[in-house]
Amino acid sequence: MSIWTIIIALIVFGVIVIVHEMGHFFTAKFFGVTVHEFAVGMGPKIFSKTKNETDYSVRALPLGGYIRMEGEDEGSEDPNGFNNKHPLKRMAIIFAGPFMNFIFAFLLFSMLYMMVGVPVNTVGGLIEGMPAIRSELQEGDRIISIEGTRTSSWTDVTDTIGASEDEILTFEVQRESQTLMIDVETVREGGRTAIGISPKYERAPGISISYGFKQTVGMLKDMLTFLGQLFTGRSESEGVVGPIGIISAVGDAARTGFANVLFLAAVISLNLGLINLLPIPALDGSRIIFQFIELVRGKKIDPEKEGTIHLIGMALLLLLMVFVTYKDILRIFN
C-alpha cells in the first residue's frame, strides 16, 4: 500500500467527515446552539483556530470527527445549550449530519454522470457475432418502442428485450427524420433475451441529476437490504470493512481513474450516513431516539445519564473497529 494511496484515502474520508459534521454544525448554528469545537479527526490537536466562539481543530487520528456543543452530554443552564432547545430542534441538528452525507452522495453521483455520460435509448454500437449486427439497425437509431412498448430510457430498452421470449422483436426507431420498423432476431443469454446492442451516452445536467437521484435511492435500498440480512444472519459479515479496508478500496479505485474515486466516495458517504442512523448508542440514530422519547414523555432525560450510555456505546464501537481492522489486515495479506 503506497503513501499516495493512504493520502488519497485520507482526503476522501476527511472530506466526507467534514460534510457530515457541517450538517450538524450549520443546523446547530441556525437554531442558536453554542458550538465550542468543530474537529476533524480524533486524539491530540495538531492545529486549531478560534473564530466566533468556535474552535476549529484538526486532530492527529484521521478516524472521524465531531462537533462539541454546549450542554450536549451534560447539564447546562445556558439558554443556547443543546439540551435546552426543543426536542424537535435537537432531532433536526442530529439528523442533519447523515442527511448531508446523502446529499453529498447525490451530488457526487450526478457529477459522475456528467463526466461519463448517461446511457440513453439510442443505439451506440452493434456487437460482433450477435443478431443486431445482421439486422437493419444502425448506430444513432433512437429506439421509440419495442413490440409496441414505449422505451424512453436505456433501462426501458434492456428490460423490454430481456423480459421478452419472442424469437423476433419489432423495433420502432427514429433515424434522422424517418420513422422505421425493423425486425431483429433474438438469442438467449444467461436466462434473458438479448440482441447485441450497446447504448449511446449523453452528457446533460437534467438527465445526470435524475440518474444521480435514482442511483442514490437505489443504492440506499441495497444497503438497507444488506443490513437487514446481516442482522438476521442471512448475509456474511465478509462485506463489512473498516478503515484499512476503505483505504485499500480507495487505492484500487485511484489506480483505475478519478471517476472510480468519485463513485467510491459517494458509496462511502451513503454508508456513513446510513450507519449513523442506526439505533446504536453513540451514533446519531440513538441520539434521535432519546430526543423522541423526551418529546413523547414531555420530560427531560438526564443528559449525564444519556452521555454515559453514549460513552459505553462509543467504547463498544471502538472495539468493533479494532476487530474489523484486524479482519481487514488478514484479508489484505491473504
DSSP line for 188-240: EETTEEE--EEEEEE--HHHHHHHHHHHHHHHHHHHHHHHHHHHTTSS-GGG-
Supply the pLDDT for residue 91: 94
How many whole angstroms separate alpha carbon 160 and alpha carbon 151? 8
Say which of 21, 70, 72, 294 is annotated catalytic. 21
Contact (CB, 8 A) for 81 and 34: yes
| pTM of the full structure | 0.76
How many whole angstroms separate alpha carbon 273 and alpha carbon 229? 19
How many whole angstroms separate alpha carbon 164 and alpha carbon 160? 6
Q: Exposed/middle/buried for 330, CB within 10 Å: 0-12, 13-18, 19+?
A: exposed
Number of CB atoms found within 10 A of residue 193's CB: 17
* CB neighbour list of residue 291: distance below 8 Å, 6 or more residues apart: 87, 88, 90, 91, 94
**Which residues of the chain are in CATH 2.30.42.10 domains?**
119-202
**Does the active-site annotation cover 21?**
yes
- Closest C-alpha to 223, from 191, 186, 173, 269: 269
Q: Which residues of the chain have pLDDT under 70?
A: 1-2, 5, 63, 230-256, 314, 317-334
> What is the topology classification, in CATH, of domain 119-202?
Pdz3 Domain (2.30.42)
Supply the pLDDT for residue 226: 77
How many whole angstroms separate alpha carbon 259 and alpha carbon 186? 34
Residue 139 gets which letter from DSSP?
T
How many whole angstroms separate alpha carbon 288 and alpha carbon 281? 10
Q: DSSP H helical segments within the chain, as ranges?
A: 3-30, 87-116, 154-163, 205-231, 243-256, 258-276, 284-297, 303-333
Question: What's the angle, vertex CA 173, arms to CA 203 and CA 145, rounded to 5?
Answer: 90
